[in-house]
Structure 1
Amino acid sequence: MKQFIDWDVAVGTAKTLMPAGPAIDGRQAARIIEGLRIAGGQGLVEAEKISLLSSTAPSQTLVVDRAGWAKAVSQNFAAMLPDGIDAPGAVPLVAGAELGAVLAVLGTRVLGQFDPFVGPRLLLNAPTITQLRGELNLNAKDFYLWIATHEQTHRLQFEHAPWIPGVMKQTLAEVFEPLRGTTHSINDLGSKLKAMKSEVSELTSIMSVLEGHAMVVMNDVKSIGTIKTIRRRFEARGENRSALATLVGKLLGMEAKALQYKRGAKFVRHLVDEMGYEGFNTIFSERELFPSAKELDHPERWLARTR
């Protein structure tokens, strides 16, 4: 038995292909790291205040460089996959190189990541945050808090819906089982899984709601004076989604486009406007309360089913 993905190859490939990030001196780096650490704590306060969810579980906040981010995300993703996947021949090396190439691209785009499988811990990708803040000419303190609030909302989601990581792992196990020993690359795996609509559909809906909820919460922060500027410039930048969402989408052959998470945000915004955050929060209590793919586009159907 071999692992489907050679994680050392994945991380090594990502480190080789990723640029290090903006050139800054040690004093600047220290200020950025300290600012991000402070934002991590403040982001949890804002996420709790807005979402009306509270946290009691300990969690780390790690400010990392791009190489550290790639390693941490690989550890998170490895913990999601089922054990004992029979990967023939050079499949682990090929899959590791493919995934490493994906991580290399994501490492220059993804700003933060909450890791529910290893930790739990919050990762803030300092070089990419710094680069984007400069490109968009944003207020650093406000931008850091905006990002941290989004990621800390994910922390609250997983804490109040501890069944979600189990569903993710269960779904991946179900879709991998019939493919043992027959898959030759990540792309091959994705093409074979496109027909497995029910498993992929549920996971897509779950992740769309999680991302959509975090987007709605972060955009409701009242203490960020420049939030309208941040939102306008960030949205003009185009597509943004978490590393976890992108990696699962790549592995499952899902077309994990920004549209999915806009659907999730629209669903959450409708329900929060209709019933408030406290009413919306019942969704985290049971797996059956998450929307189907059809309900994601028609929140009134979800209301009719759950009320």
Structure 2
Amino acid sequence: MSQFIDWDLAVGTAKTLMPAGPALSAKQAARIVEELRIAAGQGLREAEKISKLTSTAPSQTLVVDRGGWAKAVSQNFAAMLPELPHTPSALPLIAGAELGAVLSILGTRVLGQFDPFAGPRLLLNAPTITQIRGELNLNARDFYLWIATHEQTHRLQFEHAPWIPVVMKQILAEVFEPLGEKTNSMNDIGARVKSMRSEVGELTSIMSVLEGHAMVVMNDVSSIASIKTIQNRFTARGKNRSPWATWIGKLLGMDAKARQYERGAKFVRHLVDEIGYAEFNTIFSARELFPSSEELDNPALWLARTR
């Protein structure tokens, strides 16, 4: 069995191309790691309190450097994508180099993610968190808690909707498996995707709601004194899309749909204000309760269908 991607090459390429991050003493680095671990625990408690979801399943927290982040994310992708009886010899090398280049960029931008595929585990990218905190001149503990709350919200989502990773893997399998020995380039994958409008639309909807929900929860943390400053400066800097969301978006031709994540946040914000978090949480109970593309832009339609 083989995969479309040479994972060792992807990790090696990412490590080669990525800068290490801010120069820190061993004492400074150890303090940041400890503070991030503390924030991870606090973030779970905040996410539970705000979202009205609770966690009972164990999960690992990994505070990593950029090389460790690239390795962990590649393990996540490998667990998501199907294995195939055969792939053309050149394609895994091409795809591995391409993914490595993408990871080398993402590794300097993405702060963390929750991994339900090779985990469950929370990944916090310490050098990038440190770099962005310094660039934006933010309160460290507040910023760490804000990030951790977002990622721990994803933990709660996947725990309460275990069907989501299954569906995501099924859709990706539908993209890759029919190609088999027929593809020699990533362009063939793109052509396959264009014929799968409904499947790609469903994946877009799932990712939009997950990211939008986490954004709304993290911005409702009342215990973060400097939250308005964080929001304003971070929004001005750009979006923190998770690596799997970014790369799947690239792979499935959804780069032009970055607006999906803002759509997701507006959808969740409207419903939480209308019916509260506890009622909103019914959305995680079944695949059929996630919104269509039309409902994503009109939450009233979703309410009418599900109530």
2:264 alignment partner AA: G
Partner of 1:98: 98
CA 66–187 in structure 1, closer or farther in 2 if over 3 Å, else same: farther
Report if aligned partners of 1:208, 1:261 keep a CA contact under 8 Å in 2.
yes
Report if aligned partners of 2:80, 2:117 keep a CA contact under 8 Å in 1.
yes
Structure 2: tracts of 5 or more residues without a match: none
Q: CA RMSD in A?
A: 1.2
Partner of 2:158: 158
- Equivalent position SS for 1:181: helix
Q: Which moved more, 1:235-244 or 1:148-157?
A: 235-244
Pairing 1:149–2:149 present: yes
Partner of 1:133: 133
Pairing 1:35–2:35 present: yes
Query: Residues of 1 paired with 2:235 and 2:25: CA distance?
Result: 30
Q: How far is 1:194 from its partner? A: 2.4
Report if aligned partners of 2:55, 2:156 keep a CA contact under 8 Å in 1.
yes
2:145 alignment partner AA: L
Q: How far is 1:185 from its partner? A: 3.4
1:99 alignment partner AA: L
Give the aligned length: 307
1:45 alignment partner AA: R
Q: How far is 1:193 from its partner? A: 1.1
Query: Residues of 2 paired with 1:131 and 1:194: CA distance?
Result: 38
TM-score of the two chains, using structure 1 as the length reference: 0.97
Q: Which moved more, 1:45-54 or 1:236-245?
A: 236-245
Query: Residues of 2 paired with 1:38 and 1:185: CA distance?
Result: 45
CA 138–257 in structure 1, closer or farther in 2 if over 3 Å, else same: farther
Deviations 1:156-194 (A, max 9, x none): 000000000100011111121322222233354234312
Query: Residues of 2 paired with 1:164 and 1:104: CA distance?
Result: 27
2:107 alignment partner AA: G
Query: Residues of 1 paired with 2:219 and 2:3: CA distance?
Result: 40
- Equivalent position SS for 2:178: helix
- Equivalent position SS for 2:63: strand
Partner of 1:207: 207
Query: Residues of 2 paired with 1:27 and 1:150: CA distance?
Result: 27
Partner of 2:236: 236
Partner of 2:185: 185
Matches within 5 A, 1:107-122: 107-122=107-122
Matches within 5 A, 1:245-284: 245-255=245-255, 257-284=257-284
Deviations 1:125-172 (A, max 9, x none): 000000000000000000000000000000000000000010001111
1:229 alignment partner AA: T
- Equivalent position SS for 1:123: strand
Q: How far is 1:249 from its partner? A: 1.2
Query: Residues of 2 paired with 1:255 and 1:295: CA distance?
Result: 21
